[in-house]
Amino acid sequence: MIDIAFARMELPKSGALALLLGEDEAHTGLAAALDAALAGGFTRALAAADFKGKRGQSAVLLAPGAGLDRVVAIGIGKSDELTAHHAETAGATAVAALMKHETAAIAGDGLAAPMLAHAALGARLRTYRFDKYRTTLKEEQKPKLADLTILSDDSAAARTAYAPLAALAAGVELTRDLVSEPANILTPEEMADRAKSLKSLGVKVEIFDRRDMEKLGFGALLGVAMGSACEPRMVVMQWLGASEPEPTGKSGKKTKPIPKDPVVFVGKGVTFDTGGISIKPAAGMEDMKWDMAGAGTVIGLMAALAGRKARVDAVGLVGLVENMPSGTAQRPGDIVKSASGQTIEVLNTDAEGRLVLADVLWYAQNRFKPRFMVDLATLTGAIIVALGHENAGLFANNDDLANRLIEAGTYTGETVWRMPLGEAYDKQINCDIADMKNLGNGRAGGAVTAAQFLQRFVNKTPWAHLDIAGMAWASKDGAVAPKGATGYGVRLLDRLVAAHYEQ
């Protein structure tokens, strides 16, 4: 993580500089000062590069003079159309061009402090690296950038606006760290232990082991865990940012706050998914270390909400298992009894994530009586066939919740696309010898029948399911994320809460 500072708008005397420039706008302020220092060289260089300031355009000046090693111009389009997401993308693009310099600055003449704060967020997210296991990196392979300064006409306001975004960035980074870890390190028990770190932020953390879940009747989740030597866990995290302790009795002592109508988030945490007895092909199986990305997102989200002291009662629950083949593993054709009392015929042990979520969703809606529930899971390959790597699949039983998620996705750039639910799909998971089966009729509509399965465990609670199989990991650099774990969902759900559910 780089250090980000905020300072007044003045031309740096050394290092590298990125300027965020609007489309076809006259160069004033710092841009004009730079052009004067370069005897008109800045304007001539931009003209030679046909740089107009359109969104996505960039131009680089190497060793331009005035003590600077590099100057980068980043187009942000028309200033009156600039959004937070555009500002974040511009900041990320800028910092990607500055990584080979030890010190750098980003400036935006005339940009409001909140937009510069979002540019800082984009820059921080783009500089993420997971290289803790790389011991032979050559010096030239390491990023040099250590100090980044955001230059603003009102640096104090920009610094204030960035504070909650820094907490959000920390949540995204936590999620990326978890998703990036290899499965021999991040077992269910280890992941639960890492969730304990949220206690330092004021989050109440409860960890349930196998015996606890047996008492709760978690037959579906525990069935998935049968084949692994690694013990399963469920973690319940509560951030009570809206509830205040109330005096009780004559003593006037305050009781611990209890969440009232909390918002609830549930994550699938299969720390490694071989497919179980219905084993996956060997090619690409190493990617299944990130089959816990839904749970990783929920943990990162709870860290973000607590870190910025969100005025909301929020509960995050994650079911953590490893799905392995062995002599004790669940078999195709087994029937398990879920916490809801409903029975499930397990036709394919690789359709395991829905079994984990079934018990946790049931427990969450019974215990917390939530305002809504959103679950996240790398649930199906079918959603990648349908939507590629551009949108998460959104399924919901409530239009208001669905529309708010779509709106939050547009705002953050973590977009979703609503998919159908319906009786015709639901009939496909009816079963002759149990209440339901864990697969539909063949491969067609597989993401939908998986969502229909989950819907049987939420009753009438407003609920949305996000299938993030195509979004949790990226094979190439994205707008604000280097390739690898994206941390998808943390910013999306933080925005959902901030826009609609905080007091």
Residues that are catalytic:
280, 354
Give CA–CA dist 78/94, Å, rounded.
18
Query: Smallest Cα–Cα separation from 237: which of 179, 181, 353, 320?
Result: 320
Q: What share of the chain is helix, strand, coil (3-state, %, to 5)?
A: 35, 20, 40
Residues ≥6 apart with Cβ < 8 Å to 188: 225, 230, 231, 232, 233, 269, 271, 320, 321, 322
Contact at 8 Å (CB) between 289 and 182?
yes
Phi, psi of 206 (to 5 degrees): -115, 135
Please report which helix (H) or strand (E) contains residue 494, including its range: helix 490-500
Residue 401 in tokens: 């919740």
CB-based burial of residue 327 (10 Å sphere; 0-12 exposed, 13-18 middle, 19+ buried)? exposed
In whole angstroms, what is the distance from residue 351 CA to residue 276 CA?
9
Please tell me whether residue 218 adopts helix, strand or coil conformation.
Answer: coil
